[in-house]
Chain A
Amino acid sequence: MDHFTQTAWLIPLFPLAAFLLLTALGRSYRKAGVLIGSIGSLAALVMSLLVLFERLGSDAVDYSNSFKWIDFGDVTFRIGFEVTNLNALMLVIVTVVSFLVNVYSAGYMKKDERITVFYGYVALFTFAMLGLVLSDNMLIFYIFWELVGVCSFLLVGFWYAKPAARAAAKKAFIVTRIGDAGLLLGIIVLFWYMPGHALDFSNIHNVFNEGQSGAITMSITTSIALLLFMGVIGKSGQFPLHVWLPDAMEGPTPISALIHAATMVAAGVFLLARTFDIFEASAAAMHTVAYFGGFTAIFAATVAIAQKDIKRILAYSTISQLGYMVMAMGLGSMTGGIFHLFTHAFFKALLFLAAGSVIHAVHTQNIHEMGGLSSKMRVTTWTFAIGTLSLSGIPPFSGFWSKDTILATALDENPFLFAVGLAAAFCTALYMSRLFFIVFTGKSRLPHSVEVKESSKVMTIPLLVLAVISIGAGFVETPWNGWLGRWLTGGAEEAHASGAAIVASIAVGVLGIYIGWLMYGKSSIERGVTSARMPWVANVLEKQYYMNEFYAVAIVKPVRGLGKGLNAIDEYVIGVAVRFIGLAAGAGSRMLNRLNNGQTQTYGLTAMIGLVVIIVAIVGRRFW
Chain B
Amino acid sequence: MTALQEAAPRDPRDPRDAAAPVSGRREALHFALRNGKLLAGAGVVLVLLLLGLIGPLTIDAPPNEYVGPPMQGPSPEYWFGTTTFGQDVFAQFVYGLRTTFAAGLLGGVVASLIGMVVGFLAGFRGGLLDEILNMLTNIVLVIPTLAVLLIINAYLGIRSVAAQAIFIGLTSWPWAARAIRAQTFSLRGRDFVDLARLSGSNTWKIITREIAPNMSSYLLLTFILLFGNSILIASSLDFIGLGPTEGVSLGLMLQNASQWSAMQLGMWWWFIPPGAGITAIVGALYVANVGLDEVFNPKLRET
Q: Do A and B bind each other?
A: no
